[in-house]
């Protein structure tokens, strides 16, 4: 994604990238590392997507047609793990690497060598995890939430590889987050106060704090699993005085902040794209910042809404129900602000804007089904059904993923110096938009009618909805291959882009030429209100 | 130049602070386990009942105005072939009056095995008011092939039991812990009690 121009007209120490594979192995350049992260996440997206299509193929009709239930379980588990930890999170980290130094006017990330390390342990982590699928006894098959005792007493032998893979992913995320916070807090250009920072920088600052707070909790959970499996402890084993419910508490204490880790940077991206194509300032910048901070805080006190059915006293159920519903308030503020930004703007509908508007609409649908799930008595019906599957796919696919795709279309002229083909981009959007809704909307209905999640076979009355869902999944999946084609076409033969590729775009990155030089902002730029959405 | 040096010092300071946060969160998750146990013990939320209770029957007058129904449920964990049942399905007791019930257990297999019973109580709001002075669940049981046993359990429902609780369900799950604990070298021993364990 990076056609870097050689900056050899500089007389100082600045120089272009090294040649060959070593460039990518040894690089400490934030643009190179951002590129590596983005390509890696795209590869993982296709692997996880292929697993989703295996799942949808099996569910096309009731009965068992193509795969064994044991393999089906491995597919659902690995699809979830790869999409969460391999596709969405690294894609956001890649965007952070590319954009944050340029947006705050810094020459690079604060800790470039650690940046290299935090990327390069990821391919090892995922090779290790995916390799377990080919081992005797199979790979992880206990769901992406790996509840004990499914992941301890009843786990396949390969579970130890999974545990170490999760440790590596956690280490990578923690290092990446420390790097991002250190960059944002210390390397902003003079004059860029915290409340003048671009929204993407703000959302990532808060996300990085969430990651630092919860990744050790995840590491702790898998370490306890490791001890239960190999060292005869009983953290989660009732026979030895432990408690399997404690696993769920610890997991979701990590897990709920984790789902916001996957959506807050998306809020930031959309807050760049909508003002650009509405040609207005972002409505309510300050309230946007406080809304993100409130959502981050609330994410720590709602975890037990994932486990209402585990048996909880009334006071606990009420607390977690109300605290969960409270999240709708700051989220509502954000949705209102995006709409108010578009209100009476001179809107145009280029591909990034289409994805951003679809984000606002479809993420809101996902948010509303979230509120339904937060209602404790109703949750007893929805728990572990396809309604939950529809809910979190609506917030993750047309939510997080659409924002990433929007970001790629929006910033690709800056990265490559080339413009994508607008009509191909629009075609990709409409295929994705139709595909995603055809896939996930019917799942609301099969879920409400009682179809459980994570099953390879189902009762006959769910046949129609599942068939529609599978057709949608194939439309969506193959339209992402089309996305790959659009990307490659852009890189190879896109029309040259100017520095400010979008007339309404604001921010320091647009002051730079396109493609952004290998070394940018060696001297801090001037920060003006003209380049701020605030 | 000094500006750059200051920046790199600031970065080091930030990294130090953030690393402390990471270390702090690691300590927090390690502390979560005892905290969780403490929380459950105080609130009785996970239905676990307490360990051996010391009780002087002479000093407490039973509350004869209330009669609480205590139901006993027994089940064996997956892969545990023993026979395990409560001799009486349920009893009615006055709060403050000590009662003894017994449970029958039989090793139906052809090999010596060790078992551990784990209690769980519903409603959880009654857990802290249910005391056991004597229980087989405080120990593990080693039974020879075909051996059977009547195991006593003596309990008192506390006088402070909330008035809205009229019945208590106490469930025991029997786990096979032979591999975990390991059979003693001298399995010919007539003792059927192995070392006591924590919890129960």
User: Quick one: pLDDT band at residue B123, thresholds 50, 70, 90?
Assistant: confident
CB contact under 8 A, A311 and B47: yes
Q: What angle do CA B32, B37, B42 make, to 5 degrees?
A: 120
Mutate to test the interface with A, among B10, B23, B29, B40 (most CBs of A within 10 A): B29
User: Quick one: pLDDT band at residue A8, thresholds 50, 70, 90?
Assistant: very low
- So what's the pLDDT on residue B44? 66
Highest mean pLDDT among A238-242, A381-385, B77-81, B163-167: A381-385
A496 pLDDT more than 70: yes
Quick check: is A423 catalytic? no
Burial (Cβ within 10 Å: 0-12, 13-18, ≥19) of residue A142: buried
Q: By CA distance, what is A311's nearest residue in B?
A: B46
CB contact under 8 A, A246 and B33: yes
Calculate the alpha carbon distances from A385 to A148, A255, A390 in Å: 20, 19, 9
Q: Which of A203, A331, A432, A532 is catalytic?
A: A331
CB contact under 8 A, A182 and B15: yes
Q: By CA distance, what is A243's nearest residue in B?
A: B46
Q: Which residue has the higher pLDDT, A419 or A314?
A: A419
User: Quick one: pLDDT band at residue B196, thresholds 50, 70, 90?
Assistant: very low
A421 touches chain B (CB under 8 A): no
Q: Where are the alpha helices (DSSP H) in A375-421?
A: 376-382, 386-395, 402-416
Question: H-helix or E-strand containing A175?
Answer: helix A159-186
What residues contact residue B196 under an 8 Å CB cut-off, 6+ apart?
B138, B139, B140
Q: Where are the beta strands (DSSP E) in A33-105?
A: none
User: Quick one: pLDDT band at residue A14, thresholds 50, 70, 90?
Assistant: low
Q: Which of A10-24, A247-261, A351-365, B118-132 has the lowest mean pLDDT?
A: A10-24
Q: Which of A18-32, A76-90, A390-404, B57-71 has the lowest mean pLDDT?
A: B57-71
Q: Which residue has the higher pLDDT, A312 or A41?
A: A41
Quick check: is A280 catalytic? no
Nearest to B22 among A212, A224, A316 (CB): A212
Q: Which residues of A touch B175 (CB under 8 A)?
A: 238-239
What single-letter DSSP state applies at residue A396? I
Q: Which of A213-222, B129-138, B139-148, B178-187 has the lowest mean pLDDT?
A: B178-187
Average pLDDT in chain A? 93
- So what's the pLDDT on residue A240? 77
Share of chain A above pLDDT 70, in %: 97
User: Quick one: pLDDT band at residue A3, thresholds 50, 70, 90?
Assistant: very low
Average pLDDT of the segment spanning A279-287 = 94
What single-letter DSSP state applies at residue B132? E
Alpha-carbon gap, residue A505 to A275, rounded angstroms: 8
- So what's the pLDDT on residue A196? 92
Q: Look up residue A42 and give its two tokens.
A: 């795209």
Alpha-carbon gap, residue A173 to A208, rounded angstroms: 9
Average pLDDT of the segment spanning B41-55 = 72
CB contact under 8 A, A178 and B19: yes
Nearest to B15 among A178, A219, A241 (CB): A178
Smallest Cα distance from A250 to chain B, Å:
8
Share of chain A above pLDDT 90, in %: 89
pLDDT digits (tens, 9 = 90+) for A360-418: 999 999 999 999 999 999 999 999 999 999 999 999 999 999 999 999 999 999 999 99
For residue A224, how many other CB atoms are within 10 A of its CB? 24
Average pLDDT of the segment spanning A66-85 = 96
A102 pLDDT more than 70: yes
DSSP, collapsed to helix, strand or coil, labels residue A527 as coil
Asked whether the beta carbons of A387 and A447 are under 8 A apart, the reply is: yes
Quick check: is A351 catalytic? no
Q: Which of A144, A209, A489, A522 is catalytic?
A: A144
User: Quick one: pLDDT band at residue A15, thresholds 50, 70, 90?
Assistant: low
User: Quick one: pLDDT band at residue B2, thresholds 50, 70, 90?
Assistant: confident
Q: Which of A173, A369, A403, A469 is catalytic?
A: A173
Average pLDDT of the segment spanning B105-131 = 87
Helix axes A285-298, A199-230, angle to 10 degrees: 10
Burial (Cβ within 10 Å: 0-12, 13-18, ≥19) of residue A423: exposed
Smallest Cα distance from A134 to chain B, Å:
28
Quick check: is A79 catalytic? yes
Smallest Cα distance from A327 to chain B, Å:
24
Residue among B101, B134, B86, B107 at smallest CA distance from B192: B107
Alpha-carbon gap, residue A121 to A506, rounded angstroms: 35
Quick check: is A519 catalytic? no
A351 pLDDT more than 90: yes
Whole-prediction pTM: 0.89
Alpha-carbon gap, residue A61 to B75, rounded angstroms: 38
For residue B64, how many other CB atoms are within 10 A of its CB? 10
Alpha-carbon gap, residue A41 to A25, rounded angstroms: 17
Asked whether the beta carbons of A111 and A179 are under 8 A apart, the reply is: yes
Asked whether the beta carbons of B115 and B180 are under 8 A apart, the reply is: no
Average pLDDT in chain B? 84
Exposure class string for A17-35: b at 16+ Cβ within 10 A, else e: beeeeeebeebebbbbbbb
Is cis: bond before A149, omega within 30 of 0?
yes
A216 pLDDT more than 90: yes
- So what's the pLDDT on residue B190? 45
Q: Which of A37, A202, A260, A518 is catalytic?
A: A260
A135 pLDDT more than 60: yes
Alpha-carbon gap, residue A359 to A395, rounded angstroms: 9
Alpha-carbon gap, residue B103 to A277, rounded angstroms: 74
- So what's the pLDDT on residue A167? 97
Q: Say yes or no: ipTM exceeds 0.85.
A: yes
Q: Which residues of A touch B180 (CB under 8 A)?
A: 232, 239-240
Burial (Cβ within 10 Å: 0-12, 13-18, ≥19) of residue A354: buried
Q: What phi, psi does A521 have (nearest 5°)?
A: 55, 45
Residue among B174, B194, B197 at smallest CA distance from B184: B194
pLDDT digits (tens, 9 = 90+) for A472-494: 999 999 999 999 999 999 999 99
- So what's the pLDDT on residue A217? 96
Q: Which of A56, A167, A305, A519 is catalytic?
A: A305
Quick check: is A271 catalytic? yes
DSSP, collapsed to helix, strand or coil, labels residue B89 as coil
pLDDT digits (tens, 9 = 90+) for A426-474: 999 999 999 999 999 999 999 999 999 999 999 999 999 999 999 999 9
Asked whether the beta carbons of A351 and A428 are under 8 A apart, the reply is: yes
Asked whether the beta carbons of B167 and B71 are under 8 A apart, the reply is: yes
What Rg do the C-alpha atoms of chain B give, in angstroms?
24
User: Quick one: pLDDT band at residue B187, thresholds 50, 70, 90?
Assistant: low
A9 pLDDT more than 70: no
Burial (Cβ within 10 Å: 0-12, 13-18, ≥19) of residue B31: exposed
Q: By CA distance, what is B17's nearest residue in A?
A: A178
Nearest to A216 among B22, B40, B180 (CB): B22
What residues contact residue A248 under an 8 Å CB cut-off, 6+ apart?
A147, A306, A307, A310
CB contact under 8 A, B15 and A219: no
Calculate the alpha carbon distances from A448 to A43, A62, A308, A406, A459 in Å: 34, 18, 17, 32, 14
CB contact under 8 A, A220 and B45: no
């Amino acid at each position: 994604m990076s056609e870097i121009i050689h900056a050899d007209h500089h007389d100082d120490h600045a120089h272009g990238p090294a040649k060959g594979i070593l460039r990518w192995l040894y690089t400490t350049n934030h643009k190179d590392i951002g590129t590596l992260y983005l390509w890696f996440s795209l590869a993982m997206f296709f692997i996880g997507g292929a697993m989703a299509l295996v799942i949808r193929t099996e569910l096309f009709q009731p009965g068992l047609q193509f795969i064994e239930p044991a393999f089906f379980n491995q597919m659902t588990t690995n699809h979830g793990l790869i999409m969460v930890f391999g596709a969405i999170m690294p894609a956001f980290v890649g965007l952070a690497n590319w954009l944050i130094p340029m947006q705050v006017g810094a020459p690079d990330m604060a800790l470039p060598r650690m940046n290299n390390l935090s990327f390069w342990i990821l391919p090892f982590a995922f090779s290790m995890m995916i390799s377990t699928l080919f081992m005797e006894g199979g790979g992880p098959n206990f769901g992406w939430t790996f509840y004990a005792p499914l992941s301890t007493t009843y786990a396949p032998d390969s579970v130890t590889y999974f545990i170490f893979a999760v440790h590596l992913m956690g280490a990578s995320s923690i290092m990446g987050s420390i790097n991002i916070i250190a960059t944002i807090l210390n390397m902003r250009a003079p004059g860029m106060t915290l409340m003048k920072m671009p929204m993407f920088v703000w959302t990532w600052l808060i996300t990085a704090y969430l990651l630092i707070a919860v990744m050790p909790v995840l590491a702790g959970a898998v370490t306890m699993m490791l001890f239960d499996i190999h060292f005869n402890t009983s953290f989660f084993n009732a026979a030895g005085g432990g408690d399997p419910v404690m696993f769920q508490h610890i997991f979701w204490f990590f897990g709920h902040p984790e789902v916001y880790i996957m959506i807050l940077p998306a809020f930031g991206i959309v807050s760049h794209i909508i003002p650009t194509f509405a040609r207005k300032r972002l409505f309510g910048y300050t309230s946007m910042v406080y809304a993100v901070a409130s959502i981050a805080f609330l994410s720590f006190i709602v975890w037990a809404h994932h486990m209402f059915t585990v048996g909880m006293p009334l006071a606990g159920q009420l607390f977690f129900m109300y605290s969960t519903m409270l999240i709708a308030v700051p989220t509502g503020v954000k949705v209102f602000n995006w709409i108010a930004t578009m209100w009476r703007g001179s809107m145009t509908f280029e591909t990034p804007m289409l994805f951003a508007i679809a984000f606002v609409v479809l993420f809101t649908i996902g948010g509303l089904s979230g509120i339904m799930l937060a209602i404790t008595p109703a949750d007893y019906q929805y728990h572990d059904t396809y309604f939950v599957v529809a809910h979190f796919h609506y917030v993750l696919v047309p939510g997080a993923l659409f924002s990433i795709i929007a970001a790629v279309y929006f910033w690709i002229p800056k990265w490559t110096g080339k413009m994508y083909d607008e009509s191909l981009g629009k075609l990709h959007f409409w295929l994705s938009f139709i595909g995603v809704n055809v896939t996930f909307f019917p799942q609301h209905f099969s879920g409400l009618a009682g179809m459980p999640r994570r099953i390879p076979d189902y009762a006959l009355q769910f046949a129609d909805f599942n068939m529609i869902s599978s057709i949608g999944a194939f439309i969506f999946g193959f339209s992402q291959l089309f996305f790959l084609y659009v990307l490659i076409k852009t890189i190879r033969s896109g029309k040259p882009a100017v520095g400010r590729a979008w007339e309404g775009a604001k921010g320091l990155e647009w002051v730079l030429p396109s493609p952004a030089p290998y070394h940018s902002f060696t001297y801090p730029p001037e920060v003006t209100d003209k380049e701020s959405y605030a | 130049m000094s500006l750059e040096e200051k920046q790199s010092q600031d970065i080091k300071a930030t990294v130090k602070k953030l690393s402390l946060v990471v270390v702090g969160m690691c300590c927090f998750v390690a502390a979560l386990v005892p905290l969780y146990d403490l929380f459950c013990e105080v609130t009785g939320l996970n239905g676990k009942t307490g360990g051996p209770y010391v009780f002087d029957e002479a000093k407490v007058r039973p509350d004869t105005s209330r009669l609480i129904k205590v139901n006993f449920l027994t089940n064996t964990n997956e892969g545990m072939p023993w026979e395990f049942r409560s001799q009486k399905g349920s009893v009615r007791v006055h709060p403050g009056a000590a009662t003894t019930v017994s449970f029958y257990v039989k090793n139906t297999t052809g090999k010596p095995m060790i078992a551990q019973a784990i209690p769980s109580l519903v409603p959880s709001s009654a857990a802290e008011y249910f005391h056991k002075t004597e229980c087989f669940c405080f120990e593990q049981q080693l039974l020879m092939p075909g051996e059977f046993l009547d195991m006593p359990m003596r309990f008192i429902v506390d006088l402070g039991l909330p008035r809205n609780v009229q019945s208590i369900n106490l469930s025991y799950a029997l786990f096979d812990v032979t591999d975990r604990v390991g059979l003693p070298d001298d399995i010919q021993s007539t003792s059927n009690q192995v070392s006591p364990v924590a919890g129960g």
